Amino acid sequence: MGVCYQDVNPHKPSEAKPSQNTNYHKEPSNIEHQLQQPIDQHKNENRYDQLMMKKYKNIINDNSLHLMKKKLKTIKFVENFDIKGLILDQCSDFHLQRVPTNIILLVIRDCKLNDVTGIKQMSQLQELDLSFNSIQNVNELSSLVKLVRLNLSHNILKSFPPLQGLKQLKYLYCNKNIISNLYGIQMLTNLTKLDLRFNKIFDISALQSLKNLKILYLSENKINNISSLQELSNLQVVDLARNDLVDISALHSLNNIKQLYLFINQIVDISPLANLKNILELNVTYNYITDFSPICKHENHNNYIIKNQSPPTKNLLKLSGVIQKVIKILNNSSQKLLQAKQSRQLLLIKEKVQILKINSSLTKAQNNSILFTSKVASMFIYVTNDCENCQ
């Protein structure tokens, strides 16, 4: 273990909490860049999903056709043409004719597509990628009952697509649309991964019937109530960052969560997280939390990020019962302000506010506990067993 996650804070300590539309991705320093790199791995905005494309390539090598950046008017297949996959990437202004019905993979990506009528005849489709297009309506897709994976990301869907007939669908990507209504999603009970990031969603009550969900991405929406998640006990990865959350009590029973992202919300109380002992990654940065003791009871302190942005807090952090081998406290002007040798793990604390001297804020570093009592506006914590990261 030993991956550090970080949001770069471009704001001064005295400034109010930034709006959710603020761009936090300013150019980081060399050190910041190394620490910042992994934070968005769970929600990669690269144009291609690497894992998905790897799978596509496996099919491409097995009786498939891949066309990229081609100027085409008509794609017409001869009768009984045997093909398993068709990938069209950045091929605009084309028309499909007599497409083989035995295709199991179809990718039409970044092709200015706005009409999916011609796809409904491909009844054997298992994977369909229509991302980066101009699609507003996908009613015709409801007949593709064998679909397992569907990617509709980066389109202009205004409401959740009518996909009630897709009982075998497990992976659904609808991120980067303008969806505000999830009505109908409750019928997709076989879903294990759902990506709804960057939409206009405020009501997620329809999700409560999706008992098989393991991965749920809901960041960059308008959600203020997550009570419908409390029965989704199979959830392992939950992204609720950049919403309007205050109450997170619905999370208290989700014991299988391993990755939880709650940054940039209105959260004050994180006591519901106290019993989530399986968490390996936790990000609660840019909230209004004053008491972090509930999560200090966790044995898995690996990859925790704890940062507050205005108002400054007293007693920012108290870690009790965590056995450290080395404690290093660093700020921007001094690489080593304190070392305290203890016993087992390594705790790295780095102060991110340039104008604040952290050595005056440390009042206790003994007996396996650390207490900060001065006003600290921004801080993150990194716990690891890998001492090489802290040389």
Question: Is 12 a domain residue?
Answer: no
Question: Is 361 a domain residue?
Answer: no
SS3 letters across the chain: CCCCCCCCCCCCCCCCCCCCCCCCCCCCCHHHHHHHHHHHHHHCCCCCCHHHHHHHHHHHCCCEEEEECCCCCEEECCCCCCCCEEEEECCCCCEEECCCCCCCEEEEECCCCCCCHHHCCCCCCCEEECCCCCCCCCHHHHHCCCCCEEECCCCCCCECCCCCCCCCCCEEECCCCCCCECCCHHHCCCCCEEECCCCCCCCCHHHHHCCCCCEEECCCCCCCCCHHHCCCCCCCEEECCCCCCCCCHHHCCCCCCCEEECCCCCCCCCHHHCCCCCCCEEECCCECCCCCHHHHHCCCCCCEECCECCCCECCCCEECCCCEEEEEEECCCCCCCEEEECCCEEEEEEECCCCCCHHHCEEEEECCEEEECCCECCEEEEEECCHHHHC
**pLDDT under 70 in the chain at which residues?**
1-62, 69-81, 93-98, 297-391
Residue 92 pLDDT? 74
**Total-model pTM:** 0.69
Residue 55 pLDDT? 58
Q: How many domains does the chain have?
A: 1
Question: Is 80 a domain residue?
Answer: yes
Residue 12 pLDDT? 29
Question: Is 266 a domain residue?
Answer: yes
Residue 173 pLDDT? 98
Question: Is 188 a domain residue?
Answer: yes
- Say which CATH number the domain at 161 has: 3.80.10.10
Question: Is 179 a domain residue?
Answer: yes
Question: Is 139 a domain residue?
Answer: yes
Residue 222 pLDDT? 97
Q: Which domain holds residue 253?
A: 50-312
Residue 385 pLDDT? 34
* pLDDT per residue as tens digits for the range 121-175: 899 999 999 999 999 999 999 999 999 999 999 999 999 988 989 999 999 999 9
Question: Is 232 a domain residue?
Answer: yes
* pLDDT per residue as tens digits for the range 230-257: 999 999 999 999 999 999 999 999 999 9
Residue 293 pLDDT? 78
